[in-house]
Amino acid sequence: MELMDDGWQKADLHVHSSCSYDVPKSSTVHPQILFEKAMSKNMSYVTFTDHDTVEAFDILGWKKEKLVPGVELSVTDKSNVGHTVHINVFELDSEQLTDMKSIATKQQDIFMVIDFLKDNNLLYMYNHPFWFAVGEKPNLLAVPELAKHFPVIEYNMQDLKQKNLFAMALAHRFGKGMAVTTDSHTGGIGAVYTMAKGDDFREYFNNISKGNYYLVMDNPIWKHITQELSAWIELVFSTDRQVGAEFFTGVTLLDRAVRMVASDKLAGYPSVNRFTMKSIQKLSTSGLPFFLYMLSKRSQISEIKNIMNLQ
């Protein structure tokens, strides 16, 4: 609180609402509910960075006090990068998003996107540099080169600690700012946040880019991911059957499971639904899924380490 009294501001710069395609459609992740939750946690600024959409701001109002328009833009650039990159963009409007999406889908050139961001004086951040979409073969050599073109690099609580430490090393090496985020898809807004001074959001973000910031984290990443997974399971089981089909993760088995849970067939057996949910949650909180995920990424982390040592 002493820092807050001294002009420091805090925000969670990567949060998803029910407007994202991969968030279960539950009232608990509606933009209004999440905004109120952020206010209860004394966030100085609130933003929603849903996937390629600004629908949350159409719902809440673009000029709402303390609300900062944002989006998570996906760019699949096979020529310059080789894999999909996610960029958080702030203080944009719907027309600018349309233009960015056009460049991302038609030109598929990340440097054209970055030029557009600079030309329009938009604020942007390199999300989870060492996260890669399911089924893609990443070009690890491209990541350090790409990091040079971003003012801020993300420390993402949904990614492994080792990958975040590599991202932190990139930020240090190239003199970039860093922001810690929840990247929550379950309503966990503000569980971690970045502090910096600023009379407005732009000044706050620019101070982060200059290295004048604090990363505030309480729980370790493994606990954060485990809690997020448990909350996600609960949201899936509370998904409205009418909109369950609209939700998808891109992982076929998961999407089939969600559709089954949200189906009318299981809706008639609430006791079975609840037992299944509690059983899956118990497995998720055991730490086994996280341990298996870590094991699956061991070889990739070794490759990243080799690449970082070459830079």
**What integer pLDDT is reported at residue 242 of this predicted model?**
43
Q: What is the DSSP string of 204-219?
A: HHHHHHTT--EEE--S
Cα torsion angle, 119, 143, 204, 173, sign? negative
Paired sense of beta strands 83-90 and 123-126, if any: antiparallel
CATH of 2-221, one of 1.10.150.240, 3.20.20.70, 3.40.50.720, 3.20.20.140: 3.20.20.140
> Token pair of 203, please?
């000044």
Is residue 125 a contact partner of residue 151, using CB atoms and an 8 Å limit? yes
What pLDDT is stored for residue 7 in this prediction?
86
Helix (H, G, I), strand (E, B) or coil at 90: strand
- Three-state DSSP state, 74: strand
Residues of the chain with pLDDT under 50: 241-245, 249, 251, 253-255, 265
- Report the distance separating Cα 153 and Cα 176, nearest Å: 7
- Please, which residues have CB within 8 angstroms of residue 200's CB and are 6 or more apart in sequence? none
Rounded-to-integer distance, Cα 234 and Cα 133, Å = 24
pLDDT for res 275: 65
Which pLDDT score is estimated for 238? 73
In the chain, domain spans: 2-221, 224-310
- Measured CA to CA, the distance from residue 221 to residue 227 in angstroms comes to 10
Separation between Cα atoms, residue 42 and residue 68, nearest integer Å: 15
By the 10 Å C-beta count (0-12 exposed, 13-18 middle, 19+ buried), 127 is classed as buried
Question: What is the Cα–Cα distance from 188 to 178, expressed in whole angstroms?
Answer: 20
Residue 152 in 3-state DSSP?
strand
Measure Cα distances from 232 to 148, 164, 169 in Å. 34, 22, 31
